[in-house]
Amino acid sequence: MNALLKPSVLTKLMIVGRRAPIDRTPRDAGLGYEEIGFDATDGVRIGGWFVPSGSEHGPVVAFVHGWLWNRLGNVAGQVPVDDKSVDFLPAARALHDAGYHVLLFDLRNHGESGRKWPITYGLRESNDVQGALAYLRARPDVDNERIGLLGCSMGANAAIYAAAASPPVKAILAVQATRVTRFNHNYSKDEFGPIGPYLLKPVDPLYRLMGAPQLREEDPAEPAARLTNTVVKYVQATGDPWGDMSDTEDFVAATPNAMLVRYEAGGRYEGYRYVNEEVEDVAAFFRENV
């Protein structure tokens, strides 16, 4: 990509997102599924898949994806960042085989869900997760007392905010939750050097103009402190250039029932791949806590 165009392209992606194509289904992992839809708590229509476990009244885990992804995870090489593929289907299969229903859905402005700009990195997206929780609790085959969430990055933030607003959620696996202002600073500096953070100056006034929450007000530690009946496992890559281990440590300290995995990985996307590389750990966490 032309170096002069890259800042404007990335800024657009940060604000309006990207609709990554749905190129597979759970059948590719040998799973039956239902095409489903539900409304976020602010009315945005959300699309997804429900993968039944076969149980008449069983536990469920919902996957909440990250920025520029979709319900399947991420396919590398489709955006102008140094990304890696992250596939939710192997973990979904492991959870299904352990007796869990699975919900896979697209956050707003992603995949096949409705649009409401701008992207807010967990603040408004938490409305989508609250809608998912309400949808699951209305299903007769779901045990309302045994619901878990797995979120990556923006999805981890959204899961924490939603669980605090819509208890009870038994457990959350939060892979690289982040304070957005810190992430944006580190990300822009890594991509564009010392000038990078200055390119973000128009973001706050633009979000005010669009009537959106200010990203500087976003802090997962605040809702995490209200998760008194939820076990949260935080995963943070040791070599993540965009996140910050000290922020994750703050989240752990704020969360009443928390644990931290310092995942030995050399980059942001390598950290997300915990979901791929540690499938048995993912399944074991939910077996023990949901």
**Tell me: the pLDDT tens digits for 91-108?**
999 999 999 999 999 999
Give the whole-number percent of the chain exceeding pLDDT 90: 86
- Is residue 233 pLDDT above 60, yes or no? yes
Tens of pLDDT, residue by residue over 5-32, are 677 888 889 899 889 999 999 999 999 9
Q: How many residues does the chain have?
A: 290
Cα(136)–Cα(61) distance, integer angstroms: 10
183, 219 Cβ separation under 8 angstroms: no
Domain residue ranges of the chain, discontinuous segments joined by +: 30-176+220-289
Is the confidence at residue 3, as pLDDT, over 70?
A: no
Q: Is the pLDDT of residue 119 over 80?
A: yes
The listed CATH number (3.40.630.30, 3.40.50.300, 3.40.30.10, 3.40.50.1820) that belongs to domain 30-176+220-289:
3.40.50.1820
Q: What is the number of other CB atoms lying within 10 angstroms of the CB of residue 137?
A: 14
Tell me: pLDDT of 49 over 80: yes
> How high is the pLDDT of residue 106?
98
pLDDT band at 192 (very low <50, low <70, confident <90, very high): confident
* Interval 253-274: pLDDT, tens: 999 999 999 999 999 999 999 9
Q: Is the pLDDT of residue 74 over 90?
A: yes
In this predicted structure, what is the pLDDT of residue 129?
98
Q: What is the pLDDT of residue 204?
A: 87
Measured on CA atoms in the order 189, 73, 110, 105, is the torsion positive or negative? negative
CA angle 245/246/247 to nearest 5° reads 90
Task: Provide the residue type at 253 as one letter.
Answer: A
Answer whether residue 42 shows pLDDT above 70: yes
Amino acid at 95: L
